[in-house]
Each structure stands twice: as C-alpha cells, then as structure tokens.
C-alpha cells in the first residue's frame, strides 16, 4: 500500500482476484431490524402420572405444622413492604383454588395446574384454601403440611403466607407468584 493512503493498482488487482466477481447493489438502504420472538413451547397434554412423579419431592421436609399454626415463606430479595401487604391481605387476589376434600395426590396435580394457569394468565397473587385438617386422619393436617413443602419447592412461588381471618385464617394461603416474562 502506498504511503498516500490510496491502494496501489497491484493491491486493487490482488483484492479483486481474492474476492472474485461482484455486482453493484441497487441501493444502500437496509431493511428494518426485526427482533425474532423467542419460540413459545407447545403445551404438552396433561399426564397426571407424570405430574405426580416429576413435580415435587415428598422427601423435602419443611417441618410439620399444626392446624392453627401460621405459615410464612419468602425467597430472598423480595421487598418487605410487599410481603407485609401480602400478610395483611391487601393485595388483589387474581385467582383462587379450593382444595377441600381433595386427597394429597389429587391436590398435587391441581396445584401444578393452578400455578400453570396463573402464570399463563399473568396472575401474581392467588389464594389457596386447604382447610385446617380437622376432618382428616391423625392429628397433623395433611394438605397444609404438603402445601408448605410443595410451594417452597416450586420455582414460580416467591412467597406465601397464611391468610387473614376474613379469608380463611390458618386454613388458607396467600401466594405471591413470579411474573411471566
């Protein structure tokens, strides 16, 4: 290359041989930049056997709770103000699931479907009524203990708290869900 900054005729000839035949563009404008949307996975048909085996571990021990015990769980990093409003029942409930009379196996599938529906409908705040467990066998409330364990394991659940007296007290939970993004 010459010192003047212009390429020499030898350089131009070498470039043309290495690039090959070219054609002149009709215009120098580009098309609009389009961001490709991420693919949305197809919803698989619900297979209740797969739901029961793949979802939650019953070996996860969150500790046994009594019928009247107040539950509370929050993942790190949540705003304390929002958690206080949830505990007081001041957030607007977008969906509700009533588990009265369900067995643990049916309740597990219902919970998974409920959280999926909430995520698809952009529901951030829900109420789950599980009852106090007075009618079940033994002394410990089965559904309340299972929900305490299952909700802690679900990645879309950010926090949950026992409801206020008006909304079911220790027989119901307010659940704060991750926003769908």
The pLDDT tens digits of the residues spanning 39-62 come to: 655 555 555 444 444 456 665 566
Q: What are phi and psi of 89, to 5 degrees?
A: 75, 30
Q: Give the domain CATH number at 82.
A: 3.30.1370.110
Taking CA atoms, 50 is separated from 63, 77, 80, in Å, by 26, 32, 37
Task: Classify residue 1: in a domain, yes or no.
Answer: no
Q: What is the DSSP letter of 7?
A: P
What residue numbers bound the domain in which 73 lies? Answer: 66-177
Report the sign of the C-alpha dihedral through residues 150, 152, 169, 121, in that order. negative
Question: pLDDT digit string (tens) for 73-102?
Answer: 999 999 999 999 999 999 999 999 998 888
For 100-127, write each residue's pLDDT tens digit: 888 888 999 899 999 989 988 899 999 9
């Amino acid at each position: 290359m010459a010192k003047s900054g212009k390429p020499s005729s030898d350089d131009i000839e070498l470039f043309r041989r290495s690039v090959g035949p070219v054609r002149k563009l009709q215009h120098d404008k580009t098309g609009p930049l389009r961001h490709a949307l991420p693919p949305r996975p197809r919803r698989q048909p619900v297979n209740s056997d797969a739901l029961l085996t793949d979802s939650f571990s019953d070996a996860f021990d969150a500790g046994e709770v009594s019928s009247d015990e107040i539950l509370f769980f929050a993942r790190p990093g949540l705003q304390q103000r929002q958690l206080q409003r949830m505990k007081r029942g001041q957030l607007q409930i977008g969906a509700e699931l009533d588990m009265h009379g369900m067995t643990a196996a049916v309740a597990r599938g219902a919970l998974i479907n409920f959280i999926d529906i909430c995520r698809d409908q952009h529901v951030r705040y829900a109420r789950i009524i599980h009852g106090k467990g007075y009618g079940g066998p033994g002394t410990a409330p089965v559904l309340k203990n299972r929900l305490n364990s299952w909700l802690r394991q679900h990645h879309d659940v950010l926090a949950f708290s026992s409801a206020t007296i008006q909304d079911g007290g220790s027989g119901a939970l307010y659940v704060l869900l991750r926003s769908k993004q």
